[in-house]
């Protein structure tokens, strides 16, 4: 099992540019979560999907942020335009609702730096 895969692992971009972060959940998992981690705010849930449908996006900070899940094995988080305050580590996590526990499995994260 490859676990949750995220790409890229590191991204450095300039303010105003579009940034796309990618996530491949564990095969068979029907929930997918996007988190952001910063020193100031800790770990924050941005949005989560169930069976590819966005369920709660109340954590998405602004309209500049958007997330999609076109199929069960792929999701993107897009920031357009990016700003320096978006610099953070973005984590994707997935879980299987049929399991006994509500354990979420995390990817290694994408460290985003916006200059």
Least distance (Å) between residue 103 CB and other proteins: 6
- 62 touches other proteins by CB under 8 A: no
**Residue from 91, 94, 96, 114 that binds other proteins (CB under 8 A)?**
91
Distance CA 78, CA 82 (A): 9
Return the number of the residue (10 or 14) whose C-beta is nearest other proteins: 10
Is residue 100 packed enough to be buried (19+ CB in 10 Å), middle (13-18) or exposed (0-12)?
Answer: exposed
Q: Decide: is 42 part of the binding site for other proteins (CB under 8 A).
A: yes
Contact 103, 95 (CB under 8 A): yes
Listing DSSP states for 59-81 in one string gives: T--STTEEEEEEETTEEEEEESS
CA 35, chain centre distance (Å): 5
Binder to other proteins among 50, 51, 83, 84 (CB under 8 A)? 50
Considering only residues 60, 104, 112, 114, which one is a binding residue for other proteins as defined by CB under 8 A? Answer: 104
Region 13-32 residues binding other proteins, contact defined as CB under 8 A:
31
Binding site for other proteins (CB under 8 A): 4, 31, 33, 42-43, 45, 48, 50, 55-56, 91, 93, 97, 100-109
């Amino acid at each position: 099992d490859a676990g949750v895969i995220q790409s890229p692992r590191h991204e450095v971009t300039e303010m105003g540019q579009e940034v796309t972060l990618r996530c491949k959940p564990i095969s068979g998992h029907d929930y997918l979560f996007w988190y952001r981690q910063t020193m100031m705010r800790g770990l924050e849930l941005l949005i989560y999907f169930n069976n590819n449908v966005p369920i709660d996006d109340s954590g998405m900070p602004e309209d500049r942020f958007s997330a999609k899940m076109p199929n069960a094995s792929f999701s993107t988080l897009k920031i357009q335009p990016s700003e320096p305050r978006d610099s953070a580590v973005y984590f994707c996590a997935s879980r299987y609702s049929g399991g006994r526990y509500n354990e979420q499995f995390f990817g290694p994260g994408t460290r985003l730096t916006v200059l």
